[in-house]
Structure 1
Amino acid sequence: MSAALVEVHEGPEALATAVAGELLSRIEDAQADGREPHIGLTGGTIARRIHAEVARLSPDSDVDWSRVVVWWGDERFVAPDDPDRNAGQARSDFLDAVPVDPGKVHPMPSTADASSAEQGAADYGDAMRADGAGEFEVLMLGVGPDGHVASLFPGHAALDVDDRIAVRVHDSPKPPPERISLTLAALNRSRSVWFLVSGEEKADAVARALAEPPPDLHDIPAAGVSGLEETIWFLDRPAASRL
């Protein structure tokens, strides 16, 4: 696993523009090297800002969106049209604005697709085995004030699941309680892991995750994810204020 790099930007706008530009550049580089990049998306306010910047900057890039495969790190197990679904937000923010192949966009199951979150997690694992590359080119993750990552929360049993790609989270402390999340084992199969963190309310979690020696991942789950080649924490100044 790679040592973490920290990149601090003045505010959320500068952070979003920098990450969006870097994402487009990484996709271009992967495609130039002959790879079809698989990217993992996250939800949240800063992710939505980044997605909007991707849509804005994409026309000036050389990304071939027909050769990009899209996945998610976690999702709320709710109706497909629920406005809080990460997949729906990503579609409205940028996926509908770029010429991505719909067959290469893999949202996590909703209540319309699976009888339970447990079944949805199993189905998503099957989809990744069938259509995945075995690793993400870039995996983007948010971090909660409690240090949670994807939908893996401190103290939850899902943190110790290592024999599945995705897992049901049935008692999330952050509503809604029913979610699907990739496991730590799956998240760690990423060339590059990018943590996207904005706001002073996240500063303590950032400082704890980056502390030496590293904290117990059961206390700060974000500390349990690292890229195979690179790990970058993209922060704004408020999020970095306790480093």
Structure 2
Amino acid sequence: MVGTQDPKHEHSEPTLYTFGTGDELSEALANFVIKVQNEAIERRNMFTVATSGGSLPKLLAKNLVGRQDKAVRWDKWQIFFADERLVPLDHEDSNFDLCNKELFSKVPELQRSQIHTIDESLLNDPDELSDQYEKQLADEFAGKDSVRNPVFDLVLLGMGPDGHTASLFPDHPLLGEHGRWVAPIFDSPKPPLKRITLTYPVLNHAHHVAFVLTGEGKQEALARVLSEPEHRLPASRVRPFVPGDVLYFADDLAAKQTEYKRTPFNL
């Protein structure tokens, strides 16, 4: 698949929401996800999501699983991964395994066919595995080969202390990848070495991208990403084309060092 970058398109500016506690953040995030879900279902009767691992699945599960109001339309979700480690799906390093333990396994309505995972038979061939995962994207979003980029309704991301997001790391050649939707990485600075990741052409065509950050370990990176975009840290390059948007959900600890303008959270 060929991704296109159009320099004439305007990129969105980040919006920062901050919350006193992780519980408040989780509740707001759930309300936001449900709002985006409803808009997506109204638009084309499905909700396409790409997610990362880390603390995200637990934060999502807290206020999305077991709701009495039935607001979450799990039957309409199609879930992909923003990145994945090339390990078996039941390995402790697998993003799928983490998401499954914290979230998917707690949702009986969610069918395994709605969760798009890597092909375990290709773990030793990252290039072929990337192509196969890209084909899953094409099948879901286009149904056939297409030069257009997939447009996720929502991409949920974390961010490392070095400013990396998904498996896009500082100063890595993959930061300049604009052709592939899904790219292999053979030399990750963090173990495991082999991974696949969505690339900027996919991230920056999403309707909504939400970074979710908690804890003091994220303070410096968040401040640099929001206030010093000229450093071009990987997370700061996630700037969807308008009318898409990029939102930061951070607790007060994570946002302590940033002087970036905070926006009151209102749906």
Instruction: State TM-score, norm by structure 1.
Output: 0.91
Tell me the secondary structure at the aligned position of residue 215 of structure 1.
helix
CA distance in 1, matches of 2:113, 2:35: 23
Q: SS at 1:238's partner residue? A: coil
Task: Indicate how the Cα distance of structure 1 residues 57 and 242 shifts in structure 2: closer, same or farther if over 3 A, else same.
Answer: farther
Superposed CA offset, 1:143-198 (max 9, x none):
10000010000011111111101111111111111111111111112000101111
Equivalent residue number for residue 157 of structure 1: 173
Select 1:184's aligned residue among 177, 192, 200.
Answer: 200
Residue equivalent to 2:118: 108
* Corresponding residue number in structure 1 for 2:248: 233
Deviations 1:47-101 (A, max 9, x none): 0322322443544233322221111100111122102211112122222232123
Equivalent pairs, count? 238
Task: Give yes or no for contact 2:58–2:103 (8 Å, CA) kept in 1.
Answer: no
The offset of 1:121, in angstroms, is 1.1
TM-score w.r.t. the length of structure 2 is 0.83
Choose the corresponding residue for 1:77, options 86, 92, 107. 86
Residue equivalent to 1:67: 76
The match for 2:5 is none
Q: State the 1:239 CA deviation.
A: 0.8
Please, which of 144, 149, 156 is the counterpart of residue 140 of structure 1? 156
SS in 2 for 1:210: helix
Specify every segment of 5 or more residues in structure 1 that has no aligned partner in the other structure, as ranges. Answer: none
Percent identity among equivalent residues?
Answer: 29
Aligned position for 1:87: 96
Taking the aligned partners of 2:122 and 2:34, their CA distance within structure 1 comes to: 31
Partner SS state of residue 155, structure 2:
strand
Secondary structure of residue in 2 paired with 1:7: strand
2:51 to 41, 46, 68: 41
Q: CA deviation at 1:11?
A: 2.4
Measure the CA separation in 2 of the matches of 1:57 and 1:21: 14
Q: Is the 8 A contact 1:200 1:239 kept in 2?
A: yes
Instruction: Note the aligned Cα RMSD (angstroms).
Output: 1.8
1:193 matched residue in structure 2: 209
Moved over 6 A (4+): none
The aligned counterpart of 1:215 is: 230
Out of 60, 63, 70, the position equivalent to 1:51 is 60
Which of these residues, 14, 29, 35, is aligned with residue 24 of structure 2? Answer: 14
In the TM superposition, residue 211 of structure 1 has moved relative to its aligned partner by 1.4
User: Residues of 1 paired with 2:38 and 2:62: CA distance?
Assistant: 16
**Post-superposition shift, 1:140?**
0.5
Q: Which whole-Å CA distance do the structure 2 matches of 1:120 and 1:81 have between them?
A: 17
> CA, structure 1 residues 125+55, in 2 after alignment: closer, same or farther (shift >3 Å)?
same
CA contact (8 A) 1:118 1:168 kept: yes
**192-201 vs 226-235, which moves further:** 226-235
5+ unaligned residues in a row in structure 2: which ranges?
1-10, 143-149, 259-267
- The corresponding residue for 1:3 is 13
For residues 170 and 59 of structure 1, do their structure 2 counterparts lie closer, same or farther at Cα, with a shift above 3 Å needed? Answer: farther
Deviates more, 1:67-76 or 1:86-95: 86-95
Q: Which residue of structure 1 lines up, in the alignment, with residue 257 of structure 2?
A: 242
CA spacing shift, 1:66–1:238, aligned 2, 3 Å = same
